[in-house]
Amino acid sequence: MELRALCGMACNPNKSLKDLSEDLGINYWTLYKTVERMRRVGIFREITIPNFRMLGYELFVVGYGNLTKKKVTEIQKVRDSGSLKGFSANIFYGLAESYRGFVMGTAKNYTDVKRTLVAAERVIRLREVMGSDVKIVLLPFELTKIPLLFDFSRLLCREIHVNCNCTHGMSDPRINRRLSSRERQILYELTKNPNISLSELSERVGVTIQTASKIKNRLYDEGWLLRRIIPDLSLLDYEVLVFAHWNMNPDAVSLVEDMNPEGIDISNIIFLAYDILEGIAVAPFKNLKESREIISFFEQFGAASSVLVGEPRILFLSLQESIKIRDHDYAPLLTDFISN
């Protein structure tokens, strides 16, 4: 029951529980109690992701590399002290373990990236922590496709042996306009607390409940905000998170549109972004042996096409032993936006 509910919610994050109960053929109150119980014990959480393109960000930025256990401990201490805020506001997800790690974030432009790196050097001595093995990937939003943006629907549907055609990426803006100050405030509140009630939302922003409801619906309808269901992977027995970065031949990039040669199962991939020159993917697996399948995937994909240039760089990270630099914290991205 819980897996069916999770699968349905991940596939249809914008649907009400009433509509979802009809789709799943589950009594509404049974589904409601199941969902609330899972939410209460932390089996899943709902997040709201702002549309980076519509906020004026130009670059999707990924940094990764090898570390030392001593340096990871130092990063953890700095993170817990709050000193990371000065340079990590644009980072929305990051994971590190004893010897390797990666972060994902956004930037307004290259100057913004450089400023962040300088701040990181001052706070955690970045070059000493990462050494010469650090790699920074810059993917311009104007040229980048993000067909999977932390979409767990296929992974969850596979758990209950159900076919899933859901693909939740970052779509192009449907309406690009300047938001009012109240709309910006509500955008921030919904990103910071996706489960905020309409009454609390209206009270914080200083509008009626009806106005708050209209603005909330408009922000979702116009594509400013995206809903996602994030399950606790450890409770589903996933132990490994794989990060992959590869370079591509621009003349064969169209083949990436169908990244499933010879029926290879890629339902583990929860994040995928690429432009004409390189790509990034993130995928959870239940154990290290199973995670080796992604290497097989790249080998077969590279052999069946001329897309890949060289060997992909792959990091295998333990979900149990790693620390989270950031965990889907998107509210800091909006600090400058709501003040303009």
Q: Do 137 and 110 form a contact (C-beta atoms < 8 A)?
A: no
Question: Is 185 part of a structural domain of the chain?
Answer: no
Between 254 and 15, the more confident residue is 15
Question: Is 302 part of a structural domain of the chain?
Answer: yes
Number of helical H runs and strand E runs in the chain: 14, 12
The pLDDT, as a whole number, for residue 244 is 92
CA 261 to chain centre: 25
Question: Is 194 part of a structural domain of the chain?
Answer: no
**CB-based burial of residue 174 (10 Å sphere; 0-12 exposed, 13-18 middle, 19+ buried)?**
exposed
Residue 173 DSSP symbol: P
Question: Is 283 part of a structural domain of the chain?
Answer: yes
| Domain count across the chain | 2
Q: Alpha-carbon distance 53 to 301, whole Å? A: 30
Amino acid at 286: K
Whether residue 292 is predicted with pLDDT greater than 60 in this model: the reply is yes
Q: Do 78 and 84 form a contact (C-beta atoms < 8 A)?
A: yes
| Least confident window among 24-28, 214-218, 238-242, 301-305 | 301-305
The pLDDT, as a whole number, for residue 99 is 78
The pLDDT, as a whole number, for residue 296 is 75
| Least confident window among 53-67, 249-263, 326-340 | 249-263
Instruction: Write the pLDDT tens digit of every residue in 264-289.
Output: 567 889 999 998 889 999 999 998 88
Q: Do 292 and 244 form a contact (C-beta atoms < 8 A)?
A: no
Question: Is 287 part of a structural domain of the chain?
Answer: yes
Name the residue range of residue 25's domain: 1-41
Between 319 and 70, the more confident residue is 319
Q: Alpha-carbon distance 214 to 56, whole Å? A: 24
Question: Measuring CA to CA, which residue among 181, 202, 107, 179 is closest to residue 339?
Answer: 181
Instruction: Write the pLDDT tens digit of every residue in 15-58.
Output: 889 999 998 889 999 999 999 999 999 999 999 999 998 888 99
Whether residue 83 is predicted with pLDDT greater than 70 in this model: the reply is no
Question: Taking residues 73-95, what's their average pLDDT?
Answer: 66
Question: Is 275 part of a structural domain of the chain?
Answer: yes
Task: Provide the CATH number for the domain around residue 17.
Answer: 1.10.10
Question: Is 258 part of a structural domain of the chain?
Answer: yes
Question: Taking residues 289-318, what's their average pLDDT?
Answer: 78
Question: Measuring CA to CA, which residue among 96, 84, 78, 107 is closest to residue 134?
Answer: 96
Question: Is 16 part of a structural domain of the chain?
Answer: yes
